[in-house]
Amino acid sequence: MILIDGKKEAASLRLKLKDEVIELKKKFNNVPGLTVILIGELAPSQIYVRNKEKSANEVGLNSHVIRYPNDVDEKTILKKINDLNKDNSVSGILVQLPLPKHINKKKVIEAIIPSKDVDGFHPINVGNLSSGYESSIPCTPLGCYFLLKKIEPNLSGKKAVIIGRSNLNGKPMAQLLLKENCTVTITHSKTKNLKSECLMADIIIAAVGIPKLVKGDWVKKDAIIIDVGINKTDEGIVGDVDFEQVSKKVKALTPVPGGVGPMTIACLIKNTIDCFKRTQTN
């Protein structure tokens, strides 16, 4: 079994991006800038944002985190996004989710100018991705895609089963795999007989948030499994895949932690650099 080392792949991508930033600086006398907006004190969000900032600085981006208390009003956030949209030193804007209940997620996502939407959540970017046009691609599915391509460069004709239909993961993942000529099935909480769907899959992307859902007898022996889940349980952080069972059966599997997580952050850096490049050449 191949244990897909997301930490190693992310480190190698960051190294490549670091060289790219050096070249961009030479060419444009400027480096890409990433601004992250963090609202409130949620512990996981604090950790994610700290890791994003650390990685961005390591690669040489000009990165900032703007922090607001949980009770900040929506208007203040929308005004800040509007200012950042116009700020030429900012190539990418990310508002960390989830947001407090009194702030409208849709309004916030749509306030970010699509050309600086490093999450790829703006409906313009979602539409561009599904139409096969150039766009920012959500970081987690993009990270999954790079890990998959590393194991299997030719995905054409493969049957991919995605568990979970979220805008963050499942839906954009389906678009990426369709573009690679996979036959894609998106499954979700109302899917009948998920096990039999999984048993037909050459590739499974588990992104549903149910600890150890995918069992050893759900998978084919030559399948590649990407586990997006990060579930806090009594036994610590576990994925959506029963690692112990599934690792004994399949061709390749990502661990949790150390699989998709590090790639997500490296892809955010990549997206920021790509946003910068598009503004420099347009």
Task: Please give the C-alpha separations between residue 241 and each of 118, 159, 167, 179, 226, in angstroms, as whole numbers.
Answer: 28, 18, 21, 25, 9
> What minimum distance in Å lies between the beta carbon of 172 and ligand GUN?
10
> What minimum distance in Å lies between the beta carbon of 224 and ligand GUN?
22
> What minimum distance in Å lies between the beta carbon of 109 and ligand GUN?
9
User: Which pairing describes strands 231-233 and 236-238: parallel, antiparallel, or unpaired?
Assistant: antiparallel
Q: How buried is residue 243: exposed, middle or buried, by Cβ count under 10 Å (0-12/13-18/19+)?
A: buried
Which residue minimizes CB distance to ligand GUN?
A: 97
Q: Is residue 96 annotated as part of the catalytic site, yes or no?
A: yes
Q: Which is nearer to ligand GUN, 139 or 160 (CB)?
A: 139
Q: Which amino acid is at 120?
A: G
Cβ(17)–Cβ(266) under 8 Å? Answer: yes
Q: Is residue 83 annotated as part of the catalytic site, yes or no?
A: no
The C-alpha atoms of residue 239 and residue 129 are separated, in whole angstroms, by 27
> What minimum distance in Å lies between the beta carbon of 49 and ligand GUN?
9
- Given the residues 119, 202, 240, 274, the one annotated as active site: 119
Consecutive H or E run containing 140: helix 139-151
Q: Binding residues for ligand GUN, per CB under 6 A? A: 94-97, 119, 139-140, 168
Q: Which is nearer to ligand GUN, 139 or 186 (CB)?
A: 139
Q: Which is nearer to ligand GUN, 96 or 254 (CB)?
A: 96
Query: What positions carry a catalytic annotation?
Result: 52, 96, 119
